[in-house]
Amino acid sequence: MRGFLACLFGAAAIITTGIAVSARSVDGGGLRPVSSFDTISGKKERAVALFQEAGKVIQSPRCVNCHPAGDRPLQGEDSHLHQPLVVRGDADIGAVGMRCTTCHGPTNFDPANIPGHPEWHLAPIEMAWAGKSLGEICEQIKDPERNGGKDLKELVHHMADDSLVGWGWHPGAGRVPAPGTQKEFGELIAAWVEAGAACPAP
Ligand code: HEC
Ligand code: HEC
């Protein structure tokens, strides 16, 4: 019961702050187009600069909240621990009896501010981004041991076309979307790979 009430109060607070957020910033800001990096002649420098631009998305709360370093998802613009208390469980879909899908439906449910997607669950722990530098995340997402066995081509495809990643730009009422568009983000990642996929210093 306490949890339920806390949830209700939480939802009310979110709806109030949600209005403030949408009044303040309608979107999460822009991304520089790939062409604006053409003037950087060094291939490595260009790759690093492109990844840093893509990092505005990768390190946004919309992505990091689902790529936490611990057992619990994160919430909000400040990436606080998920309320109510839920855990990843042994398959990243929540504990038995408290699956993510108990509350998260196949689409956003704006009246209660609950985000949704048919595949809603946590990124596995080896894909944790929270608390890591952009350079560390970069090395990790290139590493097939830690990125779900993806080569660079599959990684570009995942970033550009995956619909769970795409949720970041359609996060529902009261949440700031990831910067730019998924298409622009996919183009930055593709150009980064083309330039040799160098990473920022860790
Ligand atoms: C609802 C939770 C959720 C959100 C939100 C989310 N992810 Fe993920 N992410 C996952 C899951 C689950 C996997 C593992 C999927 C798989 O292996 O097929 C994953 C895997 C990935 C991977 C591949 C593995 C790696 O190296 O980490 C990338 C890249 C990725 N996500 C990018 C993003 C980006 C960019 C965003 C934000 C725009 C984002 N994700 C938002 C849950 C999420
Ligand atoms: C008991 C209900 C409930 C369960 C179970 C639940 N959630 Fe949530 N979740 C919510 C509510 C309500 C919100 C919206 C509150 C907010 O964003 O501040 C939310 C928000 C989130 C967010 C925040 C998105 C963002 O970027 O702000 C993430 C990530 C998330 N949940 C992941 C999960 C994952 C992963 C699971 C399963 C391990 C899960 N949740 C299980 C109720 C639940």
| pLDDT for position 192 | 98
Give the contacts of 5 (CB within 8 A, at least 6 positions apart).
Answer: none
Per residue in 38-73, pLDDT (tens digit) is 999 999 999 999 999 999 999 999 999 999 999 999
> How would residue 27 be classed by pLDDT, with cut points 50, 70 and 90?
low
Which residues, judged by CB distance below 6 Å to any ligand atom, belong to the binding site of ligand 2? 14, 61-62, 65-66, 73, 75-76, 82, 84, 86, 88, 94, 98, 100, 102-104, 113-115, 121-122, 175
- Angle at 158 (CA atoms; ends 152, 161), nearest 5 degrees: 130
Residue that the structure tokens 């080569």 belong to: 151
Per residue in 28-41, pLDDT (tens digit) is 789 999 999 999 99
Q: Is the CB of residue 87 less than 8 Å from the CB of residue 94?
A: yes
In this prediction, residues 150-172 reach a mean pLDDT of: 97
Q: Is any atom of ligand 1 closer than 6 Å to the C-beta of 159?
A: yes
> How would residue 10 be classed by pLDDT, with cut points 50, 70 and 90?
very low
Chain-centroid distance of CA 52 in Å reads 15
